[in-house]
Amino acid sequence: MATIVQKFGGTSVGDVSKIKKAAQKVKKEMEAGNKVVTVLSAMGKSTDTLVQLAEDITDNPDKREMDMLLSTGEQVTISLMVMALKEIGIDAVSLTGWQAGIKTEPVHQNARITRIDTERVESYLDEGKAVIVAGFQGMSEDGEITTLGRGGSDTTAVALAAALNAKSCSIYTDVTGVYTCDPRVAKKARQLDSISYDEMLELANLGAGVLHPRSVEFAKNYQVPLIVRSSMVDKEGTVVEEEASMEQNLAVRGLAFEAAVTKITIERLPNNFDTLSNVFSALADDGIDVDIITQQVTGENEMNVSFSIHSDHLRESLDILKQHSDRIGYKDIRYEEGLAKVSIVGSGMVSNPGVAANMFNVLSQEEVFIKMVSTSEIKVSAVIPEDAMVRSVEALHTAFQLDERVPVEEKKKEKVPS
């Protein structure tokens, strides 16, 4: 008997009827002769509700107590799922993250999984039970409840699949798979049959919300077969694998975008060997996530440094830089809000020169000013005005031949005179 892991996100278990529908998918796999481990997120927007409750009490909730609070959301879902399974004749048991043996580093709200003790899960599987595990949570070695950060249920599922040497890990969502771009923005976006781990990881890190980046890292590191599919309709999903087996002729496989970007420029810094270390260590120590970084030498002993951050972190970043102004030694700070980041991703970029030039040409034709640029072997990102984000995404999507293809039959009909 093969072991498979399934994961259902919050929208897929958002109410009782959806939980019952997910239970039928568990039953189907059990009846096919598989051992089934199912990881669940909290129902719908229940995590947001819990966060709001905390914020109604304090502007600065304790991180440990937030983990205690937020971990309850998944416990509601897993218990309801087991009840639904037993109603349709499937023996099942629910386990919290720590009951399932998930050990994490001693960090609250954004912990990483360090190991998984699978004995308890495997013993239930051997008894013929469906094992329903709470995603997003674990326990540190010193016995503290921890959470894995938003989207951490994906990571729970893939990590369990790796630890159990599962045949596959299916991520059930409210979309049918991974698309070339968010179809709510790029109207002609289409579903991909397959995508490589590296491409998916770039897209996830750049703002595509289908999979949590850490889950893709786990899948790549442990070669877990990963499938993104719909919990609403029966349709083939997208396979995330080592090397995408389809559409190798396309240099760009997908687009990602992110709004609410701010560019900060620190002016007239001393051009010393430790200047950049002083700037970014101060920000890192306070947990500020810096994205694109550019440096410009303005004189023999001075330079400017620019970097992008999420706009939510602007005030905090400015406060940190001000607190460390004596050590950093800058003369002035400027910032520009109302920006966005658009990115093209594709492993084919390595062997196709001119991809970046094509991107910049498209943005030029759209009269979009490029504020910052970042590149890697398989992606190019540009920071642009936020009000140009949607039209830039649509133009790039068309330019790189990612639009939904018209079937041959329809093309022929279009050529027939009326």
pLDDT averages per 10-residue partition of the chain, 418 residues? 95 96 97 97 94 95 96 97 98 98 95 96 98 97 93 94 96 92 92 94 87 90 94 90 71 94 97 95 92 91 96 96 95 97 92 92 97 94 98 97 66 43
Together in a domain, 266 and 168: no
End-to-end Cα distance, the chain:
59
Asked if the structure places residue 375 within a domain, the reply is yes
Show the tokens assigned to 252: 């760009």
| Domain boundary pick from 149, 174, 199 | 174
Name the DSSP class of 378. Answer: T
Q: What is the pLDDT of residues 118-164, one digit of tens each?
A: 999 999 999 999 999 999 999 999 999 999 987 899 999 999 999 99
Contact between 24 and 88 under an 8 Å Cβ cutoff? The reply is yes
Question: Can you give the CATH number for the domain in which 88 is found?
Answer: 3.40.1160.10
* Rounded Cα–Cα distance for residues 25 and 39 (Å): 13
Global pTM value: 0.84
Domain boundary among 174, 193, 208: 174
Has residue 194 been placed in a domain?
A: no
Residue 213 maps to a domain: no
Q: Tell me, yes or no, whether 279 and 141 share the same domain.
A: no
The answer to whether 318 and 307 are in contact (CB under 8 A) is no
CATH (domain of 376):
3.30.2130.10
Structural domain includes residue 62: yes
For residues 167 and 264, membership in a common domain is answered with no
Say if residue 64 is in the same domain as residue 153. Answer: yes
**Which of 67, 77, 3 is CA-nearest to residue 34?**
3
The answer to whether residues 271 and 122 belong to one domain is no
For residue 89, the SS3 value is coil
Within-domain flag for 404? no
Residue 122 domain flag: yes
Within-domain flag for 142? yes
Query: What residue numbers bound the domain in which 128 lies?
Result: 3-174
Q: Does residue 418 fall inside a structural domain?
A: no
294-325 pLDDT, tens digit each:
999 988 899 999 999 999 999 999 999 999 99
Pair 12, 149 in one domain: yes
- Of 174, 173, 214, 180, nearest to 195 by C-alpha is 180
Last residue of a domain, one of 126, 151, 174: 174
Are residues 146 and 267 both part of a single domain? no
Quickly count helices (H) and strands (E) in the chain. 13, 18
